[in-house]
Amino acid sequence: DAGVTQSPTHLIKTRGQQVTLRCSPKSGHDTVSWYQQALGQGPQFIFQYYEEEERQRGNFPDRFSGHQYPNYSSELNVNALLLGDSALYLCASSRLASGGAFTDTQYFGPGTRLTVL
Amino acid sequence: GDSVTQMEGPVTLSEEAFLTINCTYTATGYPSLFWYVQYPGEGLQLLLKATKADDKGSNKGFEATYRKETTSFHLEKGSVQVSDSAVYFCALSQTGANSKLTFGKGITLSVRP
C-alpha cells in the first residue's frame, strides 16, 4: 500500500518564477492538505482540497493556488516566487469518514524542498 | 484562533533517560490532539493521538494524556533510545470534516549513547 508521494524531491527557482508541486494521496484517501514548513518552524496550513474544490484556506496570499484531480491527486502552484517562499512543502492526505463529521488522521508525504534564489 | 505551545528546545538526553516534552494548547471546544515526529530528511509521521479528554495515546513506548483541565498533552517516554532522536511536533485539529492541523514549533530531541 503506497503512502503519500510527492514530486519533485528538491527544486531550485529564482525570484519571480512560478512553481508547481505534485502530490498523490494514500490509497483510499480523498482529501489533500498542503502545508509550508519553514526552517526550524512547525508546518503552516496552506489549504485543503476535497471533491476537486478548495474547502479550507490558511493565511496565505493568492499567489498560492491549488488543484485536485478526479483521481484525488493534487497540485500546489506558487506564482511570483519570493525568497521567503523557500521551505519544505508537505502534502497530507486523509479520508472523509461517513457522515462527514469525523476528522480522520492526516498522513504526510516526504515533502518537496523548494529553494528560491 | 487555535494555537499550540511547545517547550523550548533542543533537548539532549542520555540513552535510557526519561523523557518529557511539554505541550499546551489554546482552542475552542474539544479538539483532537496529536504528536508527530520528523526524522532527519523525512516528512512527518503520526506518533500518537487522543480525541477526547482523559484519553491516553500511546505508541512505540511514547504516551500522552489529553488533559482538558490544564489544556495540555505532554509527551513522555520511560527510556529513550538513540533512534528516538528527531523533531517532535504537537498539533491539534478541531473536530469536523477534515479540519486543518495547527502545529507547535517543534522540539529537537538528541539522544546520546
Q: Give yes or no for a contact between B65 and B76, defined as CB atoms under 8 angstroms apart.
A: no
Cα B11–chain centre separation: 14
CB contact under 8 A, A109 and B43: yes
B29-65 per-position pLDDT tens digit? 889 999 999 998 888 999 999 988 999 999 999 999 9
Nearest by CB to residue B98, choosing from A41, A103, A107, is A103
Which of B6, B21, B47, B101 best probes binding to A when mutated, by most A CB atoms within 10 angstroms?
B101
User: Among the ranges B41-45, B73-77, B92-96, which has the highest mean pLDDT value?
Assistant: B73-77
Q: Taking Cα atoms as reference points, which of B112, B92, B102, B110 lies closest to residue B40?
A: B110
Which residues partner with B75 through β-bridges? B21, B64
Q: For residue B51, what is the nearest residue in chain A, using CA coordinates?
A: A103
Nearest by CB to residue B32, choosing from A90, A103, A111, is A103
B100-112 per-position pLDDT tens digit? 899 999 999 999 9
CA atoms B7, A93, A103, A35: torsion sign: positive
Q: Show residues of chain A in contact with B93, CB under 8 Å.
A: 103, 106
Half-sphere exposure of B95 (CA within 13 A, CB side): 11
A106 has pLDDT over 90: no
